[in-house]
């Protein structure tokens, strides 16, 4: 009993100093290993427990070990599912960003041939609105990828964690391109109202990204 108390205190200390995923994995691993160890002792050395009352805790602990193994398998399946979903979302976001950049360059080229009002509406509705929406979506996915990668790092196999890390780095690279090059191109269009508006949207999207990040963190738990 004292050994289990020491393990529980160790898990509590690690939960205060490390990530929640590590605490969850330790809290699943230590009771499972302790239950299997004591169950093997009861099974192979029944002379140490002559009373029949010791066999009921054995079957009860065997049921607990089976329940823990099912729970751990379910969490592994969820981490596997989240890794593939994040990978497909990053690929889908890449194609959307390519489409938005093509529309942006088309509107930028058309602005040299049309009047001021037509170029203003084209640059606003085609390039600016779509690019800001996609950059906001990429930042939301970026913060969610960081949280999910820290949460499921200890439940993912090495092969699937590679794809998860690849999708996270790809989303970070995409967000970097959208946030640092898009204001520069819009500044080159010599429309100061669009430039001020994208600065305002930039800080607003960062604030909304943090709000959505905390909301997704709460829902992920």
Percent of the chain with pLDDT over 90: 0
| 77 domain residue, yes or no | no
Give per-residue pLDDT as tens, 43-75. Answer: 444 444 444 444 455 556 656 656 665 666 566
Please state, rounded to an integer, the average pLDDT across all residues of the chain: 55
| 118 domain residue, yes or no | yes
Residue carrying structure tokens 């194609």: 95
Give the list of residues 6+ apart from residue 31 with CB closer than 8 angstroms, or none: 4, 64, 68
CA 76 to CA 74: how far, in whole Å? 5
Give the list of residues 6+ apart from residue 212 with CB closer than 8 angstroms, or none: 140, 143, 144
| 14 domain residue, yes or no | yes
pLDDT above 60 (res 177): no
- In 3D, which of 163, 158, 148, 153 has the Cα closest to residue 25? 153
Q: How confident is the model at residue 102 (pLDDT cuts 50, 70, 90)?
A: confident
**Are the C-beta atoms of residues 76 and 155 closer than 8 Å to each other?**
yes
Within 111-191, where are the H helices?
A: 116-122, 129-151, 158-188
Q: Do 90 and 141 have their domain in common?
A: yes
Segments of 25-75 assigned E as strands: none
Weakest mean pLDDT among 8-17, 149-158, 195-204: 8-17
Q: Do 68 and 86 have their domain in common?
A: no
- Higher pLDDT pick, 42 / 143: 143
Q: Do 61 and 130 have their domain in common?
A: no
The whole-number average pLDDT for the span 201-209 is 56
CA 127 to CA 120: how far, in whole Å? 10
Q: Do 67 and 110 have their domain in common?
A: no
- In 3D, which of 141, 55, 157, 57 has the Cα closest to residue 96? 141
Q: Angle formed by the axes of helices 158-188 and 55-110, to 10°?
A: 20
Supply angle C-alpha 152, 153, 159, rounded to 5: 105
**Are the C-beta atoms of residues 153 and 165 closer than 8 Å to each other?**
no
Query: Which domain range does residue 59 map to?
Result: 2-44+54-72
| 191 domain residue, yes or no | yes
The number of distinct structural domains making up the chain is: 2
């Amino acid at each position: 009993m004292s050994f289990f108390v020491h393990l529980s205190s160790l898990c509590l200390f690690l939960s205060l100093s490390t990530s929640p995923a590590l605490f969850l994995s330790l809290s699943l691993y230590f009771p499972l290993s302790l239950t299997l160890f004591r169950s093997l002792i009861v099974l192979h050395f029944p002379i140490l427990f002559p009373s029949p009352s010791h066999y009921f805790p054995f079957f009860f602990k065997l049921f607990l070990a089976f329940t823990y193994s099912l729970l751990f398998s379910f969490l592994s399946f969820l981490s596997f599912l989240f890794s593939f979903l994040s990978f497909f979302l990053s690929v889908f976001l890449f194609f959307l960003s390519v489409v938005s950049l093509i529309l942006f360059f088309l509107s930028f080229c058309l602005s040299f041939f049309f009047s001021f009002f037509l170029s203003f509406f084209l640059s606003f509705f085609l390039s600016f609105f779509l690019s800001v929406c996609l950059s906001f979506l990429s930042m939301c996915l970026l913060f969610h990828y960081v949280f999910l990668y820290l949460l499921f790092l200890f439940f993912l196999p090495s092969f699937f964690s590679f794809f998860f890390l690849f999708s996270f780095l790809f989303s970070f690279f995409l967000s970097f391109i959208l946030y640092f090059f898009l204001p520069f191109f819009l500044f080159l269009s010599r429309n100061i109202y669009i430039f001020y508006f994208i600065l305002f949207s930039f800080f607003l999207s960062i604030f909304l990204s943090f709000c959505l990040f905390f909301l997704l963190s709460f829902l992920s738990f």
